[in-house]
Amino acid sequence: MEALRALLHRLVPVLDRAPEDPPARITYRLSRMAPAARARAEALRREAAADFGSRESADRWLCQPVPYLGDRRPIDIMHSASGAAAVSETLHNLRYGIYS
């Protein structure tokens, strides 16, 4: 099972059709989420904007690979409850200077 997850993790960037431009990528990802997931993701986007000082800075961060998230982009994993929880934890750690 772990080998399958590792393979899928490597293939996702190849199969990904989301635009690279941060606002366009976020719009694309949000449009493909279920309503509950979209509400969760939009709340995290607002939280990131408050932490980073602007929506543009938050959008750039949401679209960049984050080492703490296994080099995945936050916007790409926020559709699931566990992904949203990981992004929330990452924002919390950034906010309080926890670098582990």
Say which residues have a Cβ less than 8 Å from residue 80's Cβ, sequence separation at least 6: 37
14 has pLDDT over 50: no
Number of folded domains that form the chain: 1
Could you tell me the residue range of the domain that residue 81 belongs to?
2-96
Q: Per-residue pLDDT averaged across 49-69, rounded?
A: 96
100 has pLDDT over 90: no
7 has pLDDT over 70: no
Q: How remote is the C-alpha of 56 from its chain's centroid?
A: 15
Q: Report the alpha-carbon distance of residue 15 to residue 67 in Å, rounded.
A: 21
**8 closest CA partner among 74, 84, 76, 85:** 76
